[in-house]
Chains A and B, each alone.
Chain A
Amino acid sequence: DIQLTQSPSFLSASIGDRVTITCRASQGINNYLAWYQQIPGKAPKLLIYAASTLQSGVPSRFSGSGSGTEFTLTISSLQPEDFATYSCQQLNDYPFTFGPGTKVDLK
């Protein structure tokens, strides 16, 4: 099975900060990498797919990059509604594993 790790696990930031979250895969995943945002008590929301493609309706301050085994999610200027947990997911092979998540909190 492909394992995903995320760093950091927890991140304190302020409004307007640039935030970067890293997701590493245990083997190459051909850019079949998605990012999700989850607010407590709500379902996850797809932000990025194919490593760098912004899902329709997602603000342009979110961006994804990377290839092979290392990927990043960047929020260019953190907004109040962005305080949430962010998880990556690989869809290169079954089982479709998720990363453990990164919680972004207010500093």
Chain B
Amino acid sequence: EVQLVESGGGLVQPGGSLRLSCAASGFIFSIYSMNWVRQAPGKGLEWVAYISRSSSPIHYADSVKGRFTISRDNAKNSLYLQMNSLRAEDTAVYYCARDYSTMGFDNWGQGTLVTVSS
């Protein structure tokens, strides 16, 4: 069974940093591209970042470019999102999602809540 489990969320002050992790199991992680998607409270889904199976190429939403860094460790079956210079508008549930050949995101984690507030 495919499982994606996010961790690392929490409360952080504006300007602070946080690193999210996504532990993958039940599939061959190294052959899939991965994504981060977020959802602010009561709002719609927003794609955040993409990383290919080999870590190149990488793409970001304009709203996080220069502040967030997506990475992966295929040996550890893990996906990461380093978030710096956090803003109130980054408050959201962050999901990791498996990329199904750029046709859709076929498996999602349960999400981890990031709250940016003083």
Residues of A within 8 A of B (CB): 1, 32, 34, 36, 38, 43-46, 48-50, 53, 55, 87, 89, 91, 94-101
> Chain B at the A interface: mostly helix, strand, loop or mixed?
strand
Q: How far is the CB of A80 from chain B (nearest CB, A)?
A: 23
User: Which residues of chain A have C-beta atoms less than 8 A from B105's C-beta?
Assistant: 34, 36, 44, 46, 89
Q: Is the CB of A44 within 8 A of B45?
A: yes
Q: Is the CB of B47 within 8 A of A96?
A: yes
Q: Is the CB of A49 within 8 A of B109?
A: no
Q: Is the CB of B103 within 8 A of A49?
A: yes
Q: Is the CB of B103 within 8 A of A34?
A: yes
Q: Is the CB of B45 within 8 A of A36?
A: yes
| Interchain CA distance A84-B45 in the complex, whole Å | 14
- Given contacts A43-B111, A44-B45, A100-B44, A95 and B102 within 8 Å (CB-CB): no
**In the complex, residue of chain A having the shortest beta-carbon distance to the beta carbon of B4:** A43
**In the complex, residue of chain B having the shortest beta-carbon distance to the beta carbon of A51:** B103
User: Which residues of chain A have C-beta atoms less than 8 A from B37's C-beta?
Assistant: 44
Query: B26-47, CB under 8 A of A: which get 1 and which 0?
Result: 0000000001010000001111
**In the complex, residue of chain B having the shortest beta-carbon distance to the beta carbon of A55:** B106
User: Which residues of chain A have C-beta atoms less than 8 A from B111's C-beta?
Assistant: 43
Q: Is the CB of A46 within 8 A of B62?
A: no
- Given contacts A43-B95, A43-B109, A43-B111, A98 and B44 within 8 Å (CB-CB): yes
Q: Is the CB of A50 within 8 A of B103?
A: yes
Question: Is residue B68 within 8 Å, beta carbon to beta carbon, of the partner chain?
Answer: no
Q: Which of B103, B104, B105, B108 has the most CB of A within 10 A?
A: B104
Give 15 new A-B contacts, CB below 8 A, not counting A34-B105, A44-B95, A53-B103. A34-B103, A43-B95, A43-B108, A44-B37, A46-B100, A46-B106, A49-B106, A50-B104, A55-B106, A89-B45, A91-B103, A95-B62, A96-B35, A96-B47, A101-B45
